[in-house]
Amino acid sequence: MIEPPHILLLVQLLGYIFAEFYLIPSMNKQPGTPLAVRVSTSLTHGLLQLFILSCFSQLWTQIIGLSVIITVCIYLINWILNTGKLTPWRFAFKHIIVATLIAYCWYQMVPNYALWHEFQSLLSSQLLLIIGGYLLVLAPAGIVVGLVLDKWDGVFQQSHQSLANAGKSIGILERLLILTFILIGQWSGVGFLLAAKSIFRFGDLRQSKDRKMTEYVMLGSLTSFATAIFIGIAVNAAIS
């Protein structure tokens, strides 16, 4: 069970995930992005953190100072790490640094923590963890799968035609189902989903006799499954 002071940290991290993967367009985080766009991206994070902190405390000098620190640090992190091609290690390193930064700012708030009663009644650690799990299995997990498959992606773009964004949509749905099955304790549903996808997807690939394409799809599917299962286990462990 997460104690009330730690709910602030959880809300801050959820706010960062929401802004980074859902509120800010992905094109704004590409290498070579104009200065004004990079500044607006960092300000979006800073303003959202300012709003979150203001809901938990009224010490405005401290709140504004910590929000400015978050804004400047996120700008510097993006400027340093987004100069080259995004890799899985860069992706993980960037968000670990930001999570550490947010944890530091939260630690500075703890001595003056004053949770408003109306927010205390609305928020629960279980609900926030579940929301965070679903946010993670959507856009961030999809990015992880894409990074893993990136080195082989160009091999199949021209030789195989499919519905636009069909693979992305299938991946999102399967990760949502996997997380739901894990949260309700139905691991048999995860096994059924994997078996069903194997029958329909890998059967067609076997008939096509394209070994490289089969390995590519298997790698993507297993990465998607593994990411969703890891997130599900982590959320369950945090709730319990």
Q: How far apart are CA 212 and CA 27, in angstroms?
A: 30
| Other CB atoms within 10 A of residue 188 CB | 9
Q: Quote the distance between the C-alpha of residue 208 and its chain's center.
A: 35
**From first to last of its 240 residues, what are the pLDDT tens digits of the chain?**
444 567 888 899 999 999 998 888 766 566 666 778 888 889 999 999 999 988 888 788 989 999 999 999 999 988 887 666 777 788 888 899 999 999 998 888 876 555 444 455 556 778 888 888 999 888 888 888 888 877 766 655 544 555 556 777 888 888 999 999 999 998 998 988 888 877 776 666 565 566 677 777 778 888 889 999 999 999 998 887
Distance CA 110, CA 107 (A): 5
What whole-number distance in Å separates Cα of residue 227 and Cα of residue 174?
11
Where does the chain show beta strands of DSSP type E?
none
> How many Å apart are CA 59 and CA 75, to the nearest integer?
25
Cβ neighbour number for residue 120 with a 10 Å cutoff: 12
CA distance 177 to 137: 10
